[in-house]
Structure 1
Amino acid sequence: MDAMHAVVVTQSLPATDPHCFVDRDLPIPEPGPLDLLVEVEAVSVNPIDVKIRKGAGTPDRPLVLGFDCAGIVRAVGSQVTGFAVGDAVWHAGDRTRPGSYAQFTLIDHRVAAHRPTSLAPADAAALPLTSLTAWEALVDHIGLGGDDAFLMIGGAGGVGSMAVQLARTLTTGPVVATASRKESASWCRGMGATATIDHTSDLRPQVDALRVDGFRGVLSAYTAGREAELSGIMKPFGRLVMIDGTDCFDMMAFKPKSLSAVSESMFTRTQFGTDDVAEQGRILAEVARLVDEGRVRTTASHRLTGLTAATVIEATQLVESGRMVGKVVIEV
């Protein structure tokens, strides 16, 4: 077999268009020295897929999206260590390479890990990208620990669901999540949030009612225009991590408390080939351990079957609805 099935983008179209994604046969990729060739068992759909598709225009060659992947190693490169053909693995992809909406995908073995033995492929596929994003925010940027108080703004999304769970493993302090609907608030509490508040209302009185004396760390999916509000509920020298991005930010609101603000992208290490790129493989291995110990659970909330253009479109429409809790996954 020298060809594989893939779901590709040939032009940027709305998710309501039946040609938004199309089915194609493509050559099976050959692994480089550091690569794993992974047969894809399950994937999940992330907002980054939506963003890239919308900005793709008319690509020169069919564009294979998809980042999260749970699969089986079918070939290894000459310099690969720690993996063998037949291993069950997971990874969060690499923006510089074709993705996981395909029968086979390549990944640098340093950013992959053996996946949790306690999860089915689809349940595992929900976690890698959001786990890495949340871990880097909480550990690398915030340094959450001890009895630090933590706030997740947008707690029912994929990243929020993982951040709440991981925060509970890092701190004994309050782990608060924001949610704007009864359904999403219930989901956040199910993920382990010690309390929930509504991010569509003023945060300060809600935080005061919880008797939280300022947050050491805040991870935010809804940041724009909230600088003064966030400053009012953060501890001096606290740290804000943004995953939504904003074209302007009022640092003067953060100056009195010497607060820090930083953006987080889990693709940075692979996109820029940082010296510590293998840290992502180590993080995924640690998350797999936490899952198998029962301390972290899957965030899959919608499950579809069959990696076809039709199912990818259906999953994409769910993500674009803005009302998702957890993650949508597709089992091949």
Structure 2
Amino acid sequence: MKAIGFKESLPITEENSFIEFETEIPMPSEYDLLVKISAISVNPVDYKIRESAAKDTVLETPKVIGWDAVGVVEAVGDKTSKFKVGDEVFYAGDLTKSGSNAEYQLIDERIVGRKPKNLSIAESAAMPLTGLTAYESLFERVKINPEKDKGKTVLFLAGAGGVGSIAIQLAKKIGNLTVIATASRPDSIQWCKDMGADFVVNHHNLKEELEKIGHSQVNYIMDFVDLEGYWETMAEIIKPQGHIVSITASSKPLNLNILKSKSVTFYWELMYTRSMFATDDMERQHQILNHISDLLDDGTLKSTLTTTLKGFTAENLKEAHRMQESGKTIGKTVIQY
């Protein structure tokens, strides 16, 4: 089968930043599904791992990354029970396994959902990783209760990005929250409004912008862009007994003491935790993806796809990474095979 990977962590402008190569089609065992991939999407985690996984070294075998895919089940392992050959599926993968930048992939069925029936292949490929991340942030970490928490305020930092785009929808449509998103360009501001944000504020003057809209403090903050850069500001604008969730990293230790007087709770969210550690509730991602699929099919949620590149080639993968590295993408970029 054809796969695309890298042997060195090179700038995306370099010819060998991605290389096409042939390798064996893997065989499924136990809970594995062998999926023939139809489309993939690219997320910030892709380029971050490409930049670091083979730094100052040259790998003998190309590393295949990629953590969003839609495809058709071609074969199943001997312990599978959720899917059969011919089923259309979508999933966000496992950091510890070979990725989706290939024609075929093995994936544990416990982190796989059924592809939305009413969405195209490209529209579906845009949703797994960001959908899981946003859903887990809201309903697994903070445990938003749509009845008890109705009307409470949530601030999404980087509302127009992949995670922010679906988080806005989930918070508004399912969580019954008052949604505030950050954006600064006219196109990203409009995108956040289209996704359902009640307010869009400029992240460059966050405190002042929140005061202008009458929400100087908020119940929940979800950082999808720069934890370290916003840390002190978040401590100021979070309400007493509020909750902060972050999916980004910090290059230095965070001063948690600044949250103490308000009894603020801080959570990390990493969508890969369940698959990396084979947690007891690993199957929960299968359930969440099926729920998201239903919400997409009935029109409650809409796909955040904005760009589709046609053809599974190294050049298209490079282009998708270039777009992610620019920091200016809106919604999701998909490569359709």
TM-score normalized with structure 1 length: 0.96
The one-character-per-residue Cα deviations of 1:19-60 (angstroms, maximum 9, x if unpaired) are 110111110010011011000000001111111111122223
Of stretches 233-242 and 92-101 in structure 1, the one that deviates more from structure 2 is 233-242
Cα distance in 1 between the residues matched to 2:233 and 2:31: 46
Matched, 1:115 2:115: yes
Q: Quote the residue 1:192 is aligned against.
A: 196
Q: Quote the residue 1:256 is aligned against.
A: 261
Question: What secondary structure sits across from 1:265 in the alignment?
Answer: coil
Q: Quote the residue 1:216 is aligned against.
A: 219
Q: Quote the residue 1:142 is aligned against.
A: 142
Equivalent position to 1:280, from 285, 295, 302 = 285
Which sections of structure 2, spanning at least 5 residues, go unmatched?
none
Contact 1:228 / 1:254 at 8 angstroms: preserved in 2?
Answer: no
Q: Quote the residue 1:271 is aligned against.
A: 276
TM-fit CA distance, 1:224: 1.4
Question: What secondary structure sits across from 1:224 in the alignment?
Answer: helix
Contact 1:144 / 1:217 at 8 angstroms: preserved in 2?
Answer: no
The aligned length equals 328
Q: Quote the residue 1:15 is aligned against.
A: 12
Give 1:103's aligned amino acid.
E
The one-character-per-residue Cα deviations of 1:71-127 (angstroms, maximum 9, x if unpaired) are 000111111112111101000000111111111001000100111101111111111
Matched, 1:161 2:165: yes
Q: Quote the residue 1:304 is aligned against.
A: 309
The one-character-per-residue Cα deviations of 1:179-203 (angstroms, maximum 9, x if unpaired) are 12111111111111111001111x2
Indicate the RMSD between aligned Cα atoms, in angstroms.
1.2
Cα distance in 1 between the residues matched to 2:320 and 2:175: 34
Contact 1:154 / 1:222 at 8 angstroms: preserved in 2?
Answer: no
Cα distance in 2 between the residues matched to 1:29 and 1:310: 25
Q: Quote the residue 2:182 is aligned against.
A: 178
Which sections of structure 1, spanning at least 5 residues, go unmatched?
none
TM-fit CA distance, 1:213: 6.5
Cα distance in 2 between the residues matched to 1:95 and 1:232: 35
Cα distance in 2 between the residues matched to 1:295 and 1:95: 30
Cα distance in 1 between the residues matched to 2:32 and 2:79: 8
Equivalent position to 2:43, from 41, 46, 64 = 46
Give 1:150's aligned amino acid.
V
Q: Quote the residue 2:327 is aligned against.
A: 322
Q: Quote the residue 1:30 is aligned against.
A: 27
Question: What secondary structure sits across from 2:232 in the alignment?
Answer: helix
Contact 1:127 / 1:298 at 8 angstroms: preserved in 2?
Answer: yes
Q: Which runs of at least 4 in structure 1 moved beyond 3 Å after TM superposition?
A: none
TM-fit CA distance, 1:204: 2.3
Cα distance in 1 between the residues matched to 2:165 and 2:100: 22
